[in-house]
Structure 1
Amino acid sequence: MTTLTKPEDAPAPTGSEAFLSVRDLRVQFSTEDGAVKAVDGLSFDLERGKTLGIVGESGSGKSVTNLTVLGLHNKKNTTIDGEIVLDGKELLTASESEMERLRGNKMAMIFQDSLTALSPYYTVGRQIAEPYSKHTGASKKEARDRAIEMLGKVGIPQPKQRVDDYPHQFSGGMRQRAMIAMSLACNPELLIADEPTTALDVTVQAQILDLLKDLQQEFGSAIIMITHDLGVVANMADDILVMYAGRAVERGSTREVLKSPQHPYTWGLLSSMPRLSSDVNEPLLPIPGSPPSLLNPPSGCPFHPRCTFTDKVSGERCSGERPVLPVGRGSACHLTADQKQQVFIDTIQPRLG
């Protein structure tokens, strides 16, 4: 059974202009092995017309967070606490009928795998036209015309003919474009893109990202970009939220996070990326260990079992005390500001070049 409580100690909003406000969000799934703490006290804001990049390894809670925003979890085995407010509307206490009116209309999602997200039994055009007709009351002809229009907007050649094709008749890049067309058919004010460029070649990836930016300028949508690729958020996002083990460990503007990262996990993500300036024979530096089990997450800082800088923190604070992520720019780490700066200059910056 889903339970809802209003947070008492959630961080204060960063500004009253936030279009989407998430406060102290906690999501747990009941399993035979115990409760999976998929999201553990997450807070963030997103303004209209802005893009927030949420990055982290698989299992960090990125997709779970945004499926919660859309209200798509199975309520039979999910416990949700916290607060999600979209344009003044509290979503966690909204009825299913209210959420159905919002999904696809005021908020929409581009799912990670377009081949499985699109039904093989219906034409691409029908799948774009159906939600448009449902939310706007448009006739079949008007909805079909809208589908053709949206396919043209996302760069599908000969949209009047391709509107009657099935998903398997589209290439991977074209299916992804069709997913974007379906998501944007009703001009949603919030667009969630879950790994929208996964399994696409770099040329198509760049085209998809440029398309999202162009459509954002046209429709004024707020975008959440979910990815593990920091190169994608560098090109797309205004702000970055770094997640680990269901928690936010660092946030700030894209320039701040990429130019002067503060958390050891962010250092690890950046150090593991190949660079054009590096020697082709230079090995990548992976983050040691594996992400923790969310059935039994580590005490204290969830990253401390994999962190190589715990020796710089006195006592057992890393393993015994949970670090707090400050409001605004900052990171949830027990290293002092001077220590973070020194480690970055001495160790991390030389790796990044």
Structure 2
Amino acid sequence: MSTWTKTADPGAPPGADAFLSVRDLRVRFSTEDGTVHAVDGISFDLARGRTLGVVGESGSGKSVTGLSVLGLHDPRTTEVTGRILLDGQEVTGAREKTLERLRGARMAMVFQDSLTALSPYHTVGEQIAEPYRRHTGASRREARRRAIEMLGRVGIPSPRLRADDYPHQFSGGMRQRAMIAMALVCDPGLLIADEPTTALDVTVQAQILDLLEDLRQEFGSAIVLITHDLGVVAEIADDVLVMYAGRVVERGPAAEVLRSPRHPYTRGLLGSVPRLDGDVEEDLVPVPGSPPSLLDPPSGCAFHPRCAFTGEVGGTRCADERPKPPGGRGAACHLTADRARALFAGRTRPRPGRGDS
């Protein structure tokens, strides 16, 4: 079953099977230097039991999107427009009391830095038990029993003893597991995991990914996996959104996007990742240039200043005309899918364009 609607039209109704629906989401931050256009009109659907990978460089709007879904932006400095529906309930513009009832019970987030996300003043068991007590009305004894149960389910050894430890007494991988236990203690329908494997060694990364997959199957949760690691996406994501400068530039089933990218940015991300079946002597090819300032995003296609294929489109179309957002399997690019497939397969070379260096 696909997570996608047939169209990316911001006014389209949510998919019939969608647990999370996002329509034309825009997030702007007010700063002393001006307005930061952090997220610029993204739309997607996600069904329960599915995992959506959201990938892109730092500053592409991935984490801002996740925080928007949970209503965690400061309304004094942030403008959030569009629609976010969780199982049909409007999240955008909801009262803080409504959001507090939803967070933990219906939706939860695993934050990137578990050491700073966990309080150093309370034991791990207390921090897992607290949201369970708040949302279910359980007693302290019942909540502690539930916290110990969850620590055991995420693979913490001797959970009854470790529940009384503080976060600094846990390793990085164990803290991440504890964060996942806290997020899932109330069986939420939506789990947003923001870079859950960052700064972990490869063995622990594999364990965390296996854990997320096991918990998705056990709880039937919808998972949004925010990452810059395409290997992680290939491992567990069903579908993928590729974000650049706050916009979705490519979307579709993860296997198809990784096997046959249609946007030059996606191709660039894949070209910078080593392959097990590749030539060990072959140099990796980084994406040239730097991400744009979101205080003053480029006109037209935001990627055009870094793109090696603008000459294939011709004229100044890439600089002047913003591509339509992709619906279903597609890319926000002026190249046709067939032309992109031929170019990216290496059968032809890009003609010089304004983005070439």
TM-score interval w.r.t. the shorter chain? over 0.9
- Give 2:203's aligned residue: 203
Q: Is the Cα–Cα contact under 8 Å of residues 249 and 326 in structure 2 kept in the other structure?
A: no
User: Which residue of the partner structure matches residue 217 of structure 2?
Assistant: 217
Question: Residue 117 of structure 2 aligns with which residue?
Answer: 117
Distance in 1, Cα, partners of 2:101 & 2:156: 28
Separation (CA, whole Å) in 1 of partners of 2:118 and 2:222: 23
Cα pair 1:13 1:45 within 8 Å, conserved: no
Letter in 2 for 1:314: G
3-state DSSP class of the match of 1:289? coil
Distance 2:338 2:173 in 1: 46
Deviation at 1:16, TM superposition (A): 1.7
Query: C-alpha deviations, 1:291-345, integer Å up to 9, x for none?
Result: 0000000000000000000001122110000001232110000012231121022
Partner of 1:284, secondary structure, is coil
Give identity over the alignment, percent.
Answer: 72
Q: How big is each residue's C-alpha offset from its partner over 1:163-186, in whole Å with a ceiling of 9 and x where there is no partner?
A: 000000000000000000000000
* Aligned residue in 2 for 1:284: 284
Write out per-residue CA displacement over residues 223-260 of structure 1, whole angstroms, 9 at most, x where no aligned residue.
00000001001111110000000000000001110111
Structure 2 residue identity aligned to 1:310: T
Q: 1:255 to 1:13 in 2, by over 3 A?
A: farther
SS of the residue corresponding to residue 178 of structure 2 reads: helix
Question: What is aligned with 1:173?
Answer: 173
What amino acid is aligned across from residue 245 of structure 1 in structure 2?
A
Match of 1:81 in 2: 81
SS in 2 for 1:19: strand
2:272 aligned residue? 272
What amino acid maps onto 2:170 in structure 1? Answer: F
Do residues 190 (structure 1) and 190 (structure 2) align?
yes
Per-residue deviation, 1:206: 0.6
TM-score by length of 2: 0.93
Q: Contact conserved, 2:261 with 2:341, CA < 8 A, in 1?
A: no
8 Å Cα contact 1:154/1:211 also seen in 2: yes
Q: Is the aligned partner of 1:160 residue 2:160?
A: yes
Counterpart Cα distance in 2 of 1:312 and 1:257:
21
> Gaps (5+ residues) in structure 1?
1-8, 349-353
The answer to whether structure 1 residue 58 and structure 2 residue 46 are counterparts is: no
Per-residue Cα deviation, 1:70-107 (whole angstroms, up to 9, x for no partner): 00001101111101011010101211100000001100
> 1:10 aligned to 2:25?
no
How many positions carry a matched residue from both structures? 341
CA distance in 2, matches of 1:178, 1:54: 23
* Structure 2 Cα separation of the partners of residues 124 and 185 of structure 1: 13
Q: Distance in 2 between matches of 1:283 and 1:337?
A: 27
CA RMSD of aligned residues (A): 1.3
SS in 1 for 2:157: coil
Query: SS where residue 261 of structure 1 aligns?
Result: coil
In structure 2, relative to structure 1, the CA distance for the partners of 1:13 and 1:309 (3 Å cut) is: farther
Q: How many angstroms apart in 2 are the aligned matches of 1:15 and 1:106?
A: 19
Alignment of 1:248-267 (within 5 A): 248-267=248-267
TM (norm. structure 1) is 0.95
Q: Is the 8 A contact 2:252 2:328 kept in 1?
A: yes
